[in-house]
Structure 1
Amino acid sequence: MTARSTALDADVRRAMQSVSAAAKRGLGDPALAELVQVRASQLNHCAFCLDMHLTLARGHGVRERQLDLLAAWEESGAEFDARERAALALTEAITVLTPPGSGKGSVPDAVYEEAARHFDAPRLAHLIALITAINSWNRLMVTRRIPPGSTEW
């Protein structure tokens, strides 16, 4: 598979980077931000973003065991605390808006309410923005077939 285009328009790239950076700053927890971005990238099959955010996660002190078990976080016992679980559940609900067979695209109230228990309103807004941003990045990179480690994006 080869890349379909070499670079994003500079204005688009800067705007996307600004949204991502603002969301991360507002969340205030770089390790959690990386866990969320890795999980969304797993769901979206974005090798470029997985490669990038796994490296960043390690740099922010995310434990290797958490990274190893992230795809099965719901079944991983106490490996993820309640706050991380709430963020990961919200990540999955936003990333996969339409549950199989439901016929509707929405974030379940229980998932949103659990996240709201663990994040104050500004941090919850930044978490939602971060999840939205990584989903946008994933779609840009997957659609354009940008390979892991590429500098041409």
Structure 2
Amino acid sequence: MTGRTRLLDPAVGRAMSALSAAAKKGLGDPALAELVVIRASQVNHCAFCLDMHLTVAREHGVSERQLGLLAAWEEAGDAFDERERAALALTEAVTVLTDRFVPDEVYDQAAQHFDEVELAHLVGLIVAINNWNRVMVGRRIPPGGYTP
């Protein structure tokens, strides 16, 4: 793991942090934002981001039930409301891009629950956490380094 100790050039790190903060602020629901970043981090197998955002999610009042069922949100019954489900579906579609694009039905479902500004911030947040996941996984940064 030689050469992997430095995460990013400070200017890049500040830019990524600014994108994350702006997207979260514009979304306006910190608990939902944490569900989104945790789900993307699960899909991307980012232990550092999972460790960090599970802590933050609890601080924002996300229930242990939701945290425990998040990996299986589609099968979790009433654990997630329709708005959360739409955000999680969009998170997975943008994160995985298995069909090389986000399916129209997934985007349209999200658009029913988020206005244009919120939707732009939601997509921005998904893009931001995917960037962070790729940095942390690519550099093999282990969990445990986050301090609130």
Counterpart residue number, 1:89? 89
- Mapped to 1, the partners of 2:32 and 2:127 lie a distance apart of 15
Q: 1:144 aligns with which of 121, 133, 139?
A: 139
Q: 1:135 aligns with which of 117, 130, 142?
A: 130
Counterpart residue number, 2:107? 112
Counterpart residue number, 1:101? none
Q: CA-atom RMSD, angstroms?
A: 1.3
Q: Match for 2:14: what amino acid? A: R
Q: Could you say what secondary structure the match of 1:74 adopts? A: helix
CA contact (8 A) 2:7 2:136 kept: no
Extract unaligned runs of 5+ from structure 1. 99-103
**How many residue pairs were aligned?**
146
Counterpart residue number, 1:66? 66
Q: Give matches, 1:22-41, under 5 Å.
A: 22-41=22-41
CA contact (8 A) 1:2 1:146 kept: no
Offset, 1:5: 2.8
Extract unaligned runs of 5+ from structure 2. none
TM-score (norm: length of structure 1): 0.92
- Mapped to 2, the partners of 1:110 and 1:9 lie a distance apart of 38
2:21 aligned with 1:21, yes or no? yes
CA contact (8 A) 2:39 2:70 kept: yes
CA gap of 1:5–1:15, structure 2 versus 1, over 3 A, is same
TM-score (norm: length of structure 2): 0.95
Offset, 1:8: 1.4
